[in-house]
Amino acid sequence: MKPDSIRNEELPIYESLIRERGDVVEEARAVAEETQHQMTQALNGHAPVQQMQQETGPQQ
């Protein structure tokens, strides 16, 4: 079976998993894009954003 031959009848399994567990692929994509943006800013000499420390609190 080639990827092009996936029929619509087979997709409800994926759709139900997304409803039950969340769209992990989309979440990973969003985190990767944000990380890439932050690294680009850091490499260009801009001050880093302290977002992770704000969300999780100070690390000891």
What is the tens place of the pLDDT at every residue in 6-42? 555 667 888 888 889 999 999 999 999 999 999 999 9
Write down the pTM of the prediction: 0.52
Phi, psi (degrees; rounded to nearest 5) at 34? -65, -40
Rounded Cα gap, residues 28 and 19, in angstroms: 16
- Predicted pLDDT at 34: 96
Residue 1: HSE in the Cβ half-sphere, 13 Å Cα cutoff? 5
Both tokens of residue 9? 């009848």
- Predicted pLDDT at 32: 98
Both tokens of residue 44? 């260009």
- Predicted pLDDT at 12: 85
- Predicted pLDDT at 1: 45
- Predicted pLDDT at 14: 84
